Amino acid sequence: MASRILVADDARFMRQLIREIIEPEGFEVVGEAADGRAVVEEFSRLQPDVVTMDIVMPKRSGIDAVKEILALDPTAKIVMVSALGQEALVMEALQAGAADYVVKPFKPDAVVATLRKVIEKEQ
């Protein structure tokens, strides 16, 4: 069965790009969220296997959303989507319990490998 992924990013461009990178590799994008509040709601509703989480989003930051999701479900798997210059924020997200991270601009192989690694770790 395909792993179910929730994609959170305030940019439609990035959500579409992640979807197009991972769907041909056998992942199912079950939902998208454009802000840090919506991703928590969508996580509760969809119960995905993995969330890809942008750090800079409106309403609530990706880091705050990580903390809220892990408070709801301590086994949740979250991969941070970061950009150059955000190393300190990624570190903060990992310390908050995020499983791993990928860096924009994406290397498609790295995105897929990171998701697989996080899912395999879960099993």
Q: Where along the sequence are the contacts to another protein (CB under 8 A)?
A: 10-14, 16-17, 20, 56-58, 83-85, 87-88, 90-91, 94, 100, 104-106
Given the complex with another protein, which of 1 and 84 has the nearer CB atom? Answer: 84
Shortest Å, Cβ 68 to another protein: 19
Given the complex with another protein, which of 4 and 10 has the nearer CB atom? Answer: 10
Q: Which helix (H) or strand (E) holds 51?
A: strand 50-54
| Cα 91 from chain centre | 15
Distance (Å, whole) CA 109 – CA 92? 25
Distance (Å, whole) CA 4 – CA 34? 18
Shortest Å, Cβ 59 to another protein: 10
